[in-house]
Chains A and B, each alone.
Chain A
């Protein structure tokens, strides 16, 4: 479904991503791991169109989407959430998701119908699926950090994506909230059949949900394979799981 071919991104000569390769098949849950600064977030920004790549191709459903603006990438069926909370903080929780739903249905230039009565069912359904329905009328800026991170995912789901990209979905969450998010991701992948690509520092979580793991270092791909393959790979052990395990600097 998604095939990233030796992608490169340089910032003023600094190679943040240097020849990374990634394959995601339909229905997969793929984790990207690697120490901080390995280029995970940059890689996601390249896929979702936030940044144009310096070189390389990104194939999505047999179409090269490398360099497309982010709103066009989104319309192709790729949605993403962010590592740092990135919501519409003055809007209510409902409206946050509704923005995505309205955009998905191309209603953004409708100026005469009240938004209040549009896409209500679908928005509420999405909110329900992430468990935020009871907080629908709250101003999103006043939510707890954990809820805001979940809303992140909710907004991404509002576009009915085929591929969902989550950038550290549990960053800054308490253990309980992390467990809730993990179950949410399992539901999205299991019940709704979504293809998920995510990166995460919590190795327990990665190994419990991902069926494919890609390991990044210095902007490149060391290996992509099943959790077992990754666990037993010598290179990965040396580069990542071994010495610099938890003190990932």
Chain B
């Protein structure tokens, strides 16, 4: 079963990468450890979006709402419940998945742009409630200084915790993408009518995909809280959703690890461009325009094409 998922080349390069990442904190200054830990969370977020976007062809315009919902669920659990932290890590993703189920039940009846727009409206409703419910969510201030034990609260702790969780989640998602479910999902992406004609209940399939993607977005949300120790309404604002879409596009959304790479690029760009200029979004905008004109397959897509003209999309 393992062999059916990875060929030797992928296995080796991934192990080397993982070993490097495990050793990295020994050499890096604290700021970079923090940055990497954040990157892991966002990489997971982008990959979870791509589960339905690149592999399902769904117009997931408001993915951030599941991320923010998971982050809030976790933050509220930690600050209000008094129960052990670890339960929060488990419950929060399921909260996101439940939101995915509810929103999915309403939205999957619609196609493409209508689907995306209804999702934005529902997501904005969640955002609006969070934004105004001062007594519970902290309103537009959010919740800050969420207490975390050193095991995950210190920067090195957060780094390793996030790394382990992200690697596990990526493995799970990789399995999903390559499972019969994933295969059918890609069929729906390419041609939903035909997929229905060969006996697939397309809406049920999309609903399942939605719930799975929301679950992993929720995991990413808890990881964000682990790194930052705070939540705020911007985590579920629609502009963040479009930023994650950019990450997927940038890395290449037909390749499994493309969005993760895209996330890493965007986070680094934002951090380092932010040091020199306050006009970082101008740079992002121009990069994105160039990307759409000249590189619609994404960075990793281009790279793999160069390396192997017959490269298949799983990479």
Contacts and interface: CB of A to CB of B under 8 A. Distances in A.
Interface of A: 48-50, 69-71, 74-75, 79-80, 82, 86-92, 95-96, 98-100, 102-104, 107-118, 139, 155-156, 158-159
Contacts of A75: 199
A113 B201 CA distance: 20
A82 B181 CA distance: 24
B175 A114 contact: yes
Interface string B227-262: 000000000000000000000000000100000000
A-B pairs, 4 with minimum CB distance? A74-B199, A88-B190, A114-B4, A100-B198
A99 B198 contact: yes
Main secondary structure of the interface of B (DSSP, over half): helix
Contact of A115 (B183, B190, B212, B313): B183
A158 to B, nearest CB: 7
A90 B194 contact: no
A150 to B, nearest CB: 15
A104 to B, nearest CB: 6
A49 B5 CA distance: 36
Contacts of B179: 110-115
B198 to A, nearest CB: 4
B254 A90 contact: yes
B189 A90 contact: yes
B190 A71 contact: no
A114 B6 CA distance: 10
Contacts of B195: 88, 99, 103
Contacts of B201: 71, 108
A88 B191 contact: yes
Nearest to A142: B310
B168 to A, nearest CB: 14
A117 B180 contact: no
B79 interface: no
Given A86-B193, A110-B180, A156-B198, 17 more contacts: A70-B196, A71-B196, A74-B198, A74-B199, A90-B189, A109-B208, A111-B180, A111-B181, A111-B182, A112-B175, A112-B176, A114-B175, A115-B178, A115-B180, A117-B1, A155-B194, A159-B199
Contacts of A50: 193, 197
Contacts of A139: 312
A115 B193 contact: no
9 contacts: A71-B201, A88-B187, A90-B313, A91-B186, A99-B195, A108-B201, A113-B179, A115-B182, A139-B312
Instruction: Identify which of B175, B200, B202, B205 gathers the most chain A CB atoms within 10 Å of its CB.
Output: B200
B4 A117 contact: yes
Interface in B282-307: none
A80 B200 contact: no
A79 B198 contact: yes
B194 A88 contact: yes
A99 B183 CA distance: 7
B46 interface: no
Nearest to A110: B180
Contacts of B196: 69-71, 74
Contact of A102 (B184, B194, B212): B184
A77 to B, nearest CB: 10
A159 B200 CA distance: 11
